[in-house]
Amino acid sequence: MQPTRRFFATVLSLSLATAGLVGCGFQLRQSNDFAFKTLYANFSTTSPLGVELRRNLLGTGRLDLWTDPKQMAKADAILDILSEERQQVPVGVSATGQVRELQLRLRVRFRLRTPQGAELIEPVEIYQQRDLSFSESAALSKEIEQGILYRDMQTDIVQQIMRRLSSVRLHSSAPLAKP
Protein backbone atom coordinates (compact mmCIF):
# COMPACT_ATOMS: atom_id res chain seq x y z
CA MET A 1 0.00 0.00 0.00
CA GLN A 2 1.52 3.30 -1.09
CA PRO A 3 1.05 6.59 0.73
CA THR A 4 -1.39 8.87 -1.02
CA ARG A 5 -1.33 12.58 -1.72
CA ARG A 6 -3.86 13.11 1.05
CA PHE A 7 -1.50 11.47 3.56
CA PHE A 8 1.40 13.68 2.50
CA ALA A 9 -0.81 16.78 2.59
CA THR A 10 -1.97 15.91 6.11
CA VAL A 11 1.58 15.35 7.35
CA LEU A 12 2.75 18.57 5.74
CA SER A 13 -0.10 20.62 7.24
CA LEU A 14 0.50 19.17 10.72
CA SER A 15 4.21 19.92 10.42
CA LEU A 16 3.52 23.50 9.38
CA ALA A 17 1.02 23.97 12.21
CA THR A 18 3.51 22.64 14.76
CA ALA A 19 6.29 24.83 13.36
CA GLY A 20 3.97 27.82 13.50
CA LEU A 21 3.16 27.25 17.17
CA VAL A 22 6.81 26.79 18.10
CA GLY A 23 7.83 29.86 16.11
CA CYS A 24 5.29 32.14 17.80
CA GLY A 25 6.56 31.34 21.30
CA PHE A 26 3.58 29.23 22.32
CA GLN A 27 4.32 27.21 25.42
CA LEU A 28 2.07 24.99 27.50
CA ARG A 29 1.40 26.16 31.03
CA GLN A 30 3.93 24.58 33.37
CA SER A 31 3.77 23.93 37.07
CA ASN A 32 4.71 26.85 39.25
CA ASP A 33 8.29 27.29 40.40
CA PHE A 34 8.66 29.12 43.69
CA ALA A 35 11.62 31.06 45.08
CA PHE A 36 10.97 29.50 48.51
CA LYS A 37 10.88 25.86 49.61
CA THR A 38 8.74 26.14 52.76
CA LEU A 39 5.59 28.21 53.11
CA TYR A 40 3.67 28.85 56.29
CA ALA A 41 -0.03 29.19 55.49
CA ASN A 42 -1.63 31.72 57.79
CA PHE A 43 -5.19 31.18 56.55
CA SER A 44 -8.17 29.01 57.38
CA THR A 45 -7.71 25.58 55.84
CA THR A 46 -11.42 24.87 56.35
CA SER A 47 -12.81 27.73 54.26
CA PRO A 48 -13.59 26.88 50.61
CA LEU A 49 -10.86 29.26 49.44
CA GLY A 50 -8.37 27.87 51.95
CA VAL A 51 -9.09 24.27 50.90
CA GLU A 52 -8.57 25.04 47.21
CA LEU A 53 -5.46 27.14 47.82
CA ARG A 54 -3.96 24.42 50.01
CA ARG A 55 -4.71 21.76 47.39
CA ASN A 56 -3.08 23.86 44.64
CA LEU A 57 0.01 24.63 46.73
CA LEU A 58 0.51 21.00 47.73
CA GLY A 59 -0.26 19.86 44.19
CA THR A 60 2.83 21.57 42.82
CA GLY A 61 5.06 19.17 44.72
CA ARG A 62 7.68 21.91 44.88
CA LEU A 63 7.21 23.22 48.40
CA ASP A 64 6.34 22.17 51.91
CA LEU A 65 3.21 23.79 53.29
CA TRP A 66 3.19 24.30 57.04
CA THR A 67 0.15 25.24 59.13
CA ASP A 68 1.48 24.73 62.66
CA PRO A 69 2.12 28.16 64.26
CA LYS A 70 5.28 26.76 65.93
CA GLN A 71 6.86 26.36 62.48
CA MET A 72 6.16 29.92 61.34
CA ALA A 73 9.58 31.27 62.35
CA LYS A 74 11.38 28.49 60.40
CA ALA A 75 9.44 28.96 57.14
CA ASP A 76 11.00 30.66 54.12
CA ALA A 77 7.82 32.69 53.51
CA ILE A 78 4.46 33.35 55.17
CA LEU A 79 1.25 33.67 53.18
CA ASP A 80 -1.41 35.71 54.99
CA ILE A 81 -4.97 35.78 53.71
CA LEU A 82 -6.03 39.06 55.29
CA SER A 83 -9.69 38.90 54.29
CA GLU A 84 -12.15 36.95 52.17
CA GLU A 85 -15.48 38.60 51.50
CA ARG A 86 -18.45 37.24 49.55
CA GLN A 87 -21.27 39.61 48.67
CA GLN A 88 -24.62 39.48 46.91
CA VAL A 89 -25.74 42.88 45.71
CA PRO A 90 -29.14 43.38 44.08
CA VAL A 91 -28.65 45.43 40.91
CA GLY A 92 -32.07 45.03 39.31
CA VAL A 93 -35.56 44.98 40.80
CA SER A 94 -39.01 44.64 39.29
CA ALA A 95 -41.82 47.19 39.60
CA THR A 96 -43.10 45.26 42.62
CA GLY A 97 -39.72 45.46 44.34
CA GLN A 98 -38.62 41.87 43.77
CA VAL A 99 -34.98 41.21 42.92
CA ARG A 100 -34.45 40.34 39.25
CA GLU A 101 -30.68 40.53 39.00
CA LEU A 102 -27.88 40.00 41.50
CA GLN A 103 -24.21 40.77 41.33
CA LEU A 104 -22.02 38.21 43.10
CA ARG A 105 -18.71 39.53 44.37
CA LEU A 106 -15.69 37.81 45.85
CA ARG A 107 -12.91 39.92 47.27
CA VAL A 108 -9.68 38.45 48.71
CA ARG A 109 -6.80 40.37 50.30
CA PHE A 110 -3.47 38.68 50.88
CA ARG A 111 0.23 39.30 51.35
CA LEU A 112 3.46 37.32 51.34
CA ARG A 113 6.21 38.09 53.80
CA THR A 114 9.29 36.60 55.39
CA PRO A 115 9.31 35.60 59.08
CA GLN A 116 11.53 38.64 59.68
CA GLY A 117 8.73 40.89 58.39
CA ALA A 118 10.06 41.83 54.95
CA GLU A 119 7.21 42.17 52.43
CA LEU A 120 7.63 39.95 49.38
CA ILE A 121 4.14 40.83 48.12
CA GLU A 122 2.60 43.87 49.73
CA PRO A 123 -1.07 43.55 50.75
CA VAL A 124 -3.03 43.25 47.53
CA GLU A 125 -6.71 42.75 46.79
CA ILE A 126 -8.06 40.47 44.08
CA TYR A 127 -11.65 41.07 43.08
CA GLN A 128 -14.05 39.04 40.96
CA GLN A 129 -17.71 39.64 40.14
CA ARG A 130 -20.41 37.83 38.20
CA ASP A 131 -23.95 38.82 37.25
CA LEU A 132 -26.81 36.47 38.00
CA SER A 133 -30.40 36.86 36.87
CA PHE A 134 -32.89 35.84 39.54
CA SER A 135 -36.37 34.38 39.43
CA GLU A 136 -38.53 33.36 42.39
CA SER A 137 -39.99 30.47 40.40
CA ALA A 138 -36.50 29.00 39.86
CA ALA A 139 -34.99 29.80 43.26
CA LEU A 140 -33.42 26.38 43.82
CA SER A 141 -31.70 26.27 40.44
CA LYS A 142 -30.50 29.86 40.88
CA GLU A 143 -29.02 28.90 44.25
CA ILE A 144 -27.09 26.07 42.57
CA GLU A 145 -25.97 28.44 39.81
CA GLN A 146 -24.83 30.91 42.46
CA GLY A 147 -22.68 28.23 44.10
CA ILE A 148 -21.12 27.38 40.73
CA LEU A 149 -20.36 31.05 40.03
CA TYR A 150 -18.74 31.52 43.46
CA ARG A 151 -16.63 28.39 42.89
CA ASP A 152 -15.58 29.72 39.46
CA MET A 153 -14.56 33.09 40.94
CA GLN A 154 -12.70 31.32 43.74
CA THR A 155 -10.77 29.17 41.25
CA ASP A 156 -9.81 32.29 39.27
CA ILE A 157 -8.57 34.01 42.42
CA VAL A 158 -6.57 30.97 43.55
CA GLN A 159 -4.90 30.77 40.13
CA GLN A 160 -4.02 34.48 40.32
CA ILE A 161 -2.53 33.99 43.79
CA MET A 162 -0.50 31.02 42.55
CA ARG A 163 0.85 33.04 39.61
CA ARG A 164 1.80 35.92 41.91
CA LEU A 165 3.53 33.57 44.35
CA SER A 166 5.54 32.00 41.55
CA SER A 167 6.60 35.42 40.25
CA VAL A 168 8.26 36.38 43.55
CA ARG A 169 12.02 36.68 43.37
CA LEU A 170 13.92 36.98 46.60
CA HIS A 171 16.27 39.93 46.94
CA SER A 172 19.27 40.32 49.19
CA SER A 173 17.14 42.64 51.34
CA ALA A 174 14.72 39.77 51.99
CA PRO A 175 16.89 36.83 53.11
CA LEU A 176 15.45 33.38 53.56
CA ALA A 177 15.18 31.99 57.07
CA LYS A 178 17.80 29.33 57.79
CA PRO A 179 16.41 26.09 59.31
Burial classification of residue 158, based on how many CB atoms lie within 10 Å of its CB (0-12 exposed, 13-18 middle, 19 or more buried): buried
- Say which residue, 108 or 3, is predicted with more confidence: 108
% of the chain at pLDDT higher than 70: 85
In CATH, 30-166 is 3.40.50.1370? no
- Which of the pair, 118 or 173, is modelled with greater confidence? 118
Q: pTM of this prediction?
A: 0.75
Q: How confident is the model at residue 177 (pLDDT cuts 50, 70, 90)?
A: very low
pLDDT one-digit tens code per residue, 46-70: 899 999 999 999 988 889 999 999 9
Please name the helix (run of DSSP H) or strand (run of DSSP E) that holds residue 144, with its range, or none: helix 139-166
